[in-house]
């Protein structure tokens, strides 16, 4: 069975991440600890596979650190075990997947042709006019000339925005006291919830 020292190692990366994201500002808030509701892509889910086996997931948005996603998965697993009337559980499988997307945005606006900076072609044109007058041994002469040009030079100026969100997945097995005593990987429900349990204000509806 996992002791308090080992449990501390499991949660040591999660708690600083929770504290950090509480101070971060920006347009997108980290995904809160809450059930995934219909129409949303973030939050936790749990599904009973057998009487003692459950599938747990937690998906965060791009503002949610990996450590937070994995910590929320651990917390939900403990809550599921407690709701089923068990004091111990073990992870049978567990994995975290990173989903990365890329988005191109214009780096600048062409002052001569609007949004020429989208990474396509921009308009460039010019016009010149000149006169000349001079003297020579044979007399004098004058001239007039002009020229113009028009082209479509390639303009590669654009910004690439990278966003990564994490999805944690696990299957847990609920253990009787006798089974937990024989399982070195067993986790105590109460210890997990005491260490990772959130204040009521931290819970809420999801932000995708």
Residue scoring higher pLDDT (27 or 42): 42
pLDDT of 1 reads: 63
Distance (Å, whole) CA 58 – CA 29: 16
Distance (Å, whole) CA 53 – CA 110: 59
Query: What mean pLDDT, rounded, does the chain reach?
Result: 76
Distance (Å, whole) CA 7 – CA 112: 62
Q: How confident is the model at residue 86 (pLDDT cuts 50, 70, 90)?
A: very high
User: Which residues have a Cβ under 8 Å from the Cβ of 142 and sit 6 or more positions away?
Assistant: 131, 132, 133, 134
Of the chain, the percentage scoring pLDDT greater than 70 comes to 57
* Ramachandran assignment for 182, one of left (phi > 0), alpha (psi -120 to 50 degrees), beta (any other): alpha
What is the number of other CB atoms lying within 10 angstroms of the CB of residue 40? 16
Q: How confident is the model at residue 107 (pLDDT cuts 50, 70, 90)?
A: low
Q: How confident is the model at residue 13 (pLDDT cuts 50, 70, 90)?
A: low
**Rounded-to-10 torsion of CA 5, 83, 172, 170:** -90
Distance (Å, whole) CA 1 – CA 124: 72
């Amino acid at each position: 069975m996992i002791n308090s020292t080992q449990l501390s190692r499991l949660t040591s990366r999660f708690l600083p991440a929770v504290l950090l994201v509480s101070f971060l500002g920006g347009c997108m808030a980290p995904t809160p600890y809450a059930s995934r509701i219909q129409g949303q892509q973030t939050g936790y889910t749990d599904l009973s596979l057998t009487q003692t086996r459950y599938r747990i997931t937690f998906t965060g948005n791009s503002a949610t650190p990996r450590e937070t996603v994995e910590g929320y998965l651990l917390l939900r697993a403990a809550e599921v075990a407690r709701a089923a009337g068990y004091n111990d559980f073990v992870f049978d499988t567990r994995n975290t997947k990173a989903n990365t997307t890329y988005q191109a945005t214009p780096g600048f606006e062409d002052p001569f042709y609007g949004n020429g900076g989208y990474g396509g072609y921009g308009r460039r044109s010019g016009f010149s006019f000149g006169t000349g007058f001079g003297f020579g041994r044979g007399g004098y002469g004058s001239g007039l000339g002009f020229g113009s040009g028009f082209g479509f030079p390639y303009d590669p100026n654009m910004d690439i925005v990278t966003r990564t969100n994490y999805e944690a997945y696990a299957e847990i097995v609920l253990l009787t006291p006798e089974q937990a005593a024989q399982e070195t990987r067993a986790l105590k429900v109460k210890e997990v919830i005491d260490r990772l349990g959130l204040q009521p204000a931290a819970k809420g509806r999801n932000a995708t």
